[in-house]
Amino acid sequence: MPTNKIAPIFPASTSAATLWLLHGDLVSEARLASLAASLGQSERKRYGRFLRPQRAREFLLGRMLLRHAVQTMLGIAASDIIVTEREGNAPLLEFPAPYTSSDFHFSLSHSHGWIGCLASTVCAVGLDIENKAHARDVDQLSAAAFDEADQQWLMRLEMARRQVGFYRLWNNREALYKLRGNRTITTDLRSCDTGWNCFHVDYPRLHIGVCVAQELQSFELVELAELNPVG
């Protein structure tokens, strides 16, 4: 599977967390049909309920990207990965012995054709991506989403820097929300409550926010050029 591998942001011998990115609009309809055949029962039900083709595409590729992450990090064949959809929650994973899904942490995000999957075997994670090609009205959104202190901070920024500042806040808030939803009963989030383990990832086509339940020794980003049918 061709990849565009970015140098680790936190250099180390192995990655504590890896972020895979895929530009889903480049995946052909024929490839989508092939990938859809790999969905599990509950995934197929949810996939069939999407009314917008773009949203259905993002869902399908997100589930395939998740399988790719499991295969790459744990060496489990895709056919042995059971994915069960849960209303209002991230999907539930089941692995064959001796692997346990509680040792695999992930977060999915999508934005206007782009799909991201952040995964770690170290700690709970949260991810948010936003497509830079689809700019938002940051003043209007910040008034609706941020408190007065954050709004004042943004308004003090020069216009050229305000959008970047907005997405730094937006990404990290969304990623932290997902992290809290992905945590287990044993996850220590004291440092995340201060934002200590939330950071922004510089990337040409996306605004990316990452939050993790503990400090990472390393972080790696990999953009996939394509996504092959899983086996």
If you classify domain 3-134+179-224 with CATH, what class do you get?
Answer: alpha beta
The encoded tokens of residue 2 equal 């061709």
- pTM greater than 0.85: yes
With beta carbons less than 8 A apart as the criterion, state whether 92 and 83 touch.
Answer: yes
The encoded tokens of residue 42 equal 């509950």
Average model confidence (pLDDT) for the chain? 87
Tens of pLDDT, residue by residue over 71-104, are 999 999 999 999 999 988 899 999 999 999 988 9
The DSSP secondary structure of the chain, one letter per residue, reads --EEEPPPSB--SS-SEEEEEEEGGGS-HHHHHHHHTT--HHHHHHHHH--SHHHHHHHHHHHHHHHHHHHHHH---GGG-EEEEETTEEEEEE--TT--GGG-EEEEEEETTEEEEEEESSS-EEEEEEETTS---HHHHHHHHS-HHHHHHHHTS-HHHHHHHHHHHHHHHHHHHHHHHH--TT---TTGGGTTTEEEE--TTEEEEEEESS--S-EEEEEES--PPP-
With beta carbons less than 8 A apart as the criterion, state whether 213 and 183 touch.
Answer: yes
Amino acid symbol at 76: I
CA distance readout (Å), 117 to 127, 175, 222: 8, 12, 10
Tens of pLDDT, residue by residue over 28-78, are 999 999 999 999 999 999 999 999 999 999 999 999 999 999 999 999 999
The encoded tokens of residue 225 equal 């050029």
List the domain boundaries for the chain.
3-134+179-224
Range with lowest mean pLDDT among 104-113, 117-126, 189-198: 189-198
